[in-house]
Structure 1
């Protein structure tokens, strides 16, 4: 969560510098839920949020929330809460300029350490910034959407798809979007002879591990991908293509908060361990606990983690056997059996 930037985003309205746009339709890009957002905004905002945990929080708070903006919708204004991924921030700027009507207001906010000043300089190539304010270690600025925009310039803001090893399509904002993650590559080397039955990839990202799993289908019956980033999962739909006799399913899912119905023989994972800029081992521990619940007796978990992640105690408590397979280049590969 970026609470400081979120609070700062609404300050121009709370301080009556800008009017609360009653009766209008506004787009909120990169939206996050927060109890401090005034109730009046719930009828105004369409919240764009591809990250499943924040999407769930927004829906629970009563906001109209979507994972992707489709079609040619027009809005009276936009709020943008920038994050740590420059490419995704620029994609949101492009959407705001495209979907906000001429003369509409666009308000942008972000943490000072996440490139808000760079974002402002980018915006000023399209339109002058009307004003700015700083508080909560964040900055907010706002502008009027110009009557005319150079279409080519707006299109140039949109990040081009990235091709990884001329095989996978990714985009900025996804985990390891420029190259195959080294830990995942190490894990994939241990798939031989260990993949069987109904298989799941928890935290599948854009599909690298799932694609590698489909190279070991001799005993595989099905493959399921679970991923919290909607855009990464959409990329995985392109990247993960299995043989006709192996059903592959894709689930936009928060493994740590949403129940998983199916039981699996094999689960693989490279669990997330960052919340904002801080390491949070409870995220990976939650993935391990979820795997323990959804593996059948005798089922196998294969995981990779940074060496310092404290996962062994949880693994030993939840699994019958825990076997280190490799410790190399700062990563550890572990096999655990129910």
Structure 2
């Protein structure tokens, strides 16, 4: 969560420096819903949020949330809450310029530690910043969307998809988008002879493990990908190419909060373990608990984790057998059977 930056984002309106919009339609990029005083904004905001947990929180709070904008969407103004991924922040800025009417106000806020002042300099290559304020260890600044924009500079903000090994499409903000994750590669090396039946990948990202699973499809009946990042899942749709006889399904899903109805023979995972800047082992522990419920008796879980993650107690409590397969380069590979 970025509580300080979120509070600071609305300060220009609360301090009456900027008028609170009325009867207008505003865009909120990188939106979060963890604030009681946003009630006045609910009817006018369209919240762009590709991360499923935050998307669900926005919906629960009564906001109109979308994972992706339509090309025809036009707004009177925009709010941008920047995150830790500069490339995705720049893409959101480009979308704000593309979708806000000329003369509309764009307000940006971010934590100082996330480089909001550096980001302001990027904004100023396209439009002058009107003013700024600083509070809660964050900075907010605002500008007017110009009538004319430097099209080359605007296009430069729209990152071209990254291509890995000439095969995989990825993008900013996705887990390990510039290189194949070392832990995932170690896990994939243990797939031989262990993959069969109805298979699921929990936390599938842009589809590396799922693609590797299809290299061991002799006994596979189906493959399901579950991923919380909408943009990563869209990339996985391009990266995971299966033969017609192997049905593949893609689920934009929060594994720890939304129920999964299907039962699987094999589940693989490289579970997430970061909430913001801090490690949160409960996320991976939740993935393991869900896997235990959705595996049939005799089913197999294959997972990779950083060596320090405390997963063994949960695995031993939930599975009939737990076997370490590898402990190397700071990672551990574990096989667990129901």
TM-score by length of 1: 0.99
Match of residue 186 from structure 1 = 186
Give the superposed CA RMSD: 0.6
User: 1:127 offset after TM fit, Å?
Assistant: 1.1
- Residue 107 in structure 1 maps to residue 107 in structure 2: yes
- Residue 2 in structure 1 maps to residue 30 in structure 2: no
Q: In 1, Cα distance between the equivalents of 2:282 and 2:201?
A: 19
User: 1:153 offset after TM fit, Å?
Assistant: 1.7
State the SS of the aligned residue for 1:205.
coil
Match of residue 137 from structure 2 = 137
User: 1:108 offset after TM fit, Å?
Assistant: 0.1
Match of residue 149 from structure 1 = 149
User: 1:247 offset after TM fit, Å?
Assistant: 0.3
Match of residue 37 from structure 1 = 37
Q: Equivalent residues in 2 for 1:254-333 (5 A)?
A: 254-333=254-333
User: 1:175 offset after TM fit, Å?
Assistant: 0.2
User: 1:36 offset after TM fit, Å?
Assistant: 2.7
TM-score by length of 2: 0.99
User: 1:115 offset after TM fit, Å?
Assistant: 1.2
Q: In 2, Cα distance between the equivalents of 1:16 and 1:44?
A: 18
Asked if 2 retains the 8 angstrom alpha-carbon contact of 1:7 and 1:36, the reply is no
User: 1:128 offset after TM fit, Å?
Assistant: 1.1
Match of residue 161 from structure 2 = 161
User: 1:152 offset after TM fit, Å?
Assistant: 2.1
1:164-218 per-residue CA deviation (whole Å, 9 max, x = no partner) reads: 1111000010000001000000000000000010000000000000000000011
Q: In 1, Cα distance between the equivalents of 2:264 and 2:72?
A: 41
User: 1:335 offset after TM fit, Å?
Assistant: 0.2
User: 1:71 offset after TM fit, Å?
Assistant: 1.7
User: 1:114 offset after TM fit, Å?
Assistant: 0.5
1:259-293 per-residue CA deviation (whole Å, 9 max, x = no partner) reads: 00100000000000000000000000000001001
Match of residue 54 from structure 1 = 54
1:102-142 per-residue CA deviation (whole Å, 9 max, x = no partner) reads: 10000000000111011100011111111111111110000
34-43 or 238-247: which moved more?
34-43
In the alignment, structure 1 segments of 5+ residues that lack a partner are none
User: 1:156 offset after TM fit, Å?
Assistant: 1.1
Match of residue 71 from structure 2 = 71
- Write out the 4+ residue segments of structure 1 that deviate beyond 3 Å after TM superposition: none
User: 1:37 offset after TM fit, Å?
Assistant: 3.5
In the alignment, structure 2 segments of 5+ residues that lack a partner are none
Count of aligned residue pairs for this structure pair: 338
Match of residue 246 from structure 2 = 246
